[in-house]
Amino acid sequence: MKKYGFSLKSLAYIAVGNLGLALAMDLFFTANGIAAGGFGGVGVIVNFLFPKISVGAVIFLISVPVFIWSYFRQGLAYTLSALLSTAAFSVFTDLLDFLPCLTYNKLLAAICGGALYGLAGAVLVRGYVAGSGTDLLARLLVTKFRNVSLGTMVLICDMIVIAGSVAAFGDIEQGIYAAGAIAVCSWSMDKVIHGFNTAVVFEIITPDEKSARDLADVIMERIDRGVTLIPVEGMYSRTDRSMLMIAVRPKQIYEVKDIIHEAAPGSFAVMLHANGVIGEGFKGLDVTVPVKDISEEEKL
């Protein structure tokens, strides 16, 4: 496997991540008929219609045409990564199908299963594992529909699966639970990847440098946060101005607003949401990082 760039570390990420995905399926989704998008959702639908066909088998079989397409579009290394990840997901799902469903409350199952699914997905992201299922399919489809973003294409694929579940189960509530599970999955994955170390960044443009320095002094004194002064130019007025940049905790937003109103009422301020902040006053470097776009040249 080393020939194709697979290390023990990447294999461990594949195993742990897909084990988590399989547990979410077997402990929460399958027994409750929650087709929470992806090829796993297709597996739940097919298993409901044809109980003798296992969820894991469906996941792998419907992935085969995608692997063939991926080989010609993305190359061998990328396709092998997706193949290995999908195979692990399929095998774990069928091997653990003896486990009992932890709850038949569909709302609770959607929440818990979605959270576990998102956590497992974050593990795969952290390991830079190539996408599989509808994620891989969406990456291939955007090469044909270039005006559609990857995120939108994934959403379209998941919505098709949800619509299929509503038709198969004959109950619109099944689709609602599936959509809820996807939302929880997305939220939990985002929180694990980006962390809970969120902040709000203020960019404050003042009329001149003196007012900027005076405002900075008040901010640093009252909320004990570092401030950066950046020279800027107002393009409409063609005049030199100064901009202050400061990162604060969400609970400090209104205090900063009050300070701006009191110390520099003529300023122009913009608030930006930051998913993570590194440095003094905040947490250190987060070991979780967003997944890189994997091209055909990249290896695991």
Give the pLDDT confidence of 12-42 residue by residue, as tens digits.
989 999 999 999 999 999 999 999 888 999 9
Mean per-residue pLDDT, 157-177? 92
pTM of the model: 0.71
**For 111-125, 242-256, 270-284, which range has the lowest pLDDT when averaged over its residues?**
270-284
Domains of the chain, residue spans: 2-194, 199-274
List CB contacts of 155: < 8 A, sequence separation 6 or more.
Answer: none
Q: What average pLDDT does the chain have?
A: 84
Mean of pLDDT values over 71-88: 85
- DSSP H or E stretch at residue 189: helix 172-194
Average pLDDT estimate for 77-102: 91
Residue 297 has pLDDT above 50, yes or no: no
Region 193-208 average pLDDT? 80
Alpha-carbon distance of 256 to 292, in angstroms, equals: 35
pLDDT at 132: 67
Task: Quote the pLDDT of residue 298.
Answer: 37
**Residue predicted with more confidence, 59 or 4:** 59
Contacts of 100 (CB under 8 A, 6+ apart): 27
Say what percent of the chain tops pLDDT 90.
41
* pLDDT band with cut points at 50, 70 and 90 for residue 249: confident
Find the mean pLDDT for residues 145-160: 83
Please say if the pLDDT value at position 125 is more than 90: no
CB–CB of 15/120 below 8 Å? no
**Stretch 156-161: mean pLDDT:** 90
Has residue 149 got a pLDDT over 80?
A: no
Select 199-274's CATH number: 3.40.50.300, 3.30.70.120, 3.40.50.460, 3.10.350.10: 3.30.70.120
**Residue 291 binned pLDDT confidence (cut-offs 50, 70, 90):** very low
pLDDT at 292 over 50: no
Q: How confident is the model at residue 128 (pLDDT cuts 50, 70, 90)?
A: confident
The strand order across the sheet containing 239-248 reads 228-234, 239-248, 199-206, 268-274
**pLDDT at 87 (0 to 100):** 92
Q: Locate 101 and state its tokens.
A: 């469903």
